[in-house]
């Protein structure tokens, strides 16, 4: 399976159309093409982290600075960022707009991704983090814009789960 070139471009355009100017990320396969777009874009500040929890702090700093910032990570990175999400973002009312690659879910061939994929939705529900699945290139731009808007009005983490349907080439 390979990552969808077309849909990666559409997702990146959605990020641009939402007025995002700054992005923190830890590269992973499904996000690779997206991050290449960000890396080549002179109007986008891309900050790569060593571990996803750092990005929660960076996003808080960007929010304080008044910058329109989003986070890109794999769902296992979301799990690795947990204490920052709980004890910085939720505790202080810091908005986070998280685009999360949902690995290990429907159709996952790799065993190592599965447990994280299976628990992701349950963890989001436990934390009361609003989330939606992004499955269609036709809707994802609107979903990114709305996720960002809600994060700012609710002062809360929001998750948009990027699914296999969207991120991989159709068979």
Partner 1 sequence: MLYPELGDKLVVTIMGACAQELYDRGHKENFFYLQHAMGLASSIGLGLALHLPHEKIVVLDGDGSVLMNLGTLATLARYRPRNLVHVIFDNGSLLSTGGFDSHTTSGITDLAAIARGAGVEHVAAVDSVVAFGEAAIEAFARDDLSVIVAKVAAVGPNHYGMDLQLPENAFRFKRWIAGRKP
How near is the Cβ of 10 to partner 1 at its closest, in Å? 27
Pick between residue 15 and residue 134 the one whose CB is nearest to partner 1.
15
Q: Which stretch binds partner 1 (CB under 8 A): 12-20, 49-57, 144-152, 159-167?
A: 49-57
Q: How far apart are CA 132 and CA 147, in angstroms?
A: 9
Query: Cβ atoms within 10 A of the Cβ of 79, count?
Result: 17
> Among 155, 55, 166, 78, which Cα is nearest to 124's?
78
As given in the structure block, the two tokens for residue 7 are 């849909």
Q: How many helices (H) and strands (E) does the chain have?
A: 9, 6
Contact flags string 99-128 toward partner 1, x per CB under 8 A: ------------------------------
How near is the Cβ of 13 to partner 1 at its closest, in Å? 23
DSSP 31: G
- For partner 1, how many residues bind (rule: CB under 8 A)? 34
Pick between residue 119 and residue 155 the one whose CB is nearest to partner 1.
155
DSSP 3: B
Site residues (CB under 8 A) for partner 1?
22, 24, 45, 47-51, 53-67, 69, 83-84, 86-88, 91-94, 155
């Amino acid at each position: 399976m390979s990552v969808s070139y077309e849909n990666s471009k559409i997702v990146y355009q959605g990020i641009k159309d939402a007025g995002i100017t700054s992005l923190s990320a830890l590269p992973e396969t499904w996000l690779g093409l997206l991050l290449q777009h960000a890396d080549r874009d002179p109007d986008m500040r891309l900050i790569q982290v060593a571990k996803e929890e750092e990005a929660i702090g960076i996003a808080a700093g960007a929010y304080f600075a008044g910058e329109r910032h989003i986070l890109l990570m794999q769902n296992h990175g979301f799990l690795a960022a947990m204490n920052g999400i709980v004890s910085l973002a939720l505790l202080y009312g810091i908005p986070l707009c998280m685009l999360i690659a949902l690995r290990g879910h429907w159709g996952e061939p790799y065993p190592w991704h599965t447990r994280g994929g299976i628990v992701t939705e349950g963890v989001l529900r436990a934390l009361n983090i609003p989330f939606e699945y992004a499955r269609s290139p036709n809707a994802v731009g609107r979903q990114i814009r709305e996720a960002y808007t809600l994060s700012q009005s609710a002062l809360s983490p929001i998750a948009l789960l990027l699914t296999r349907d969207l991120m991989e080439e159709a068979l």
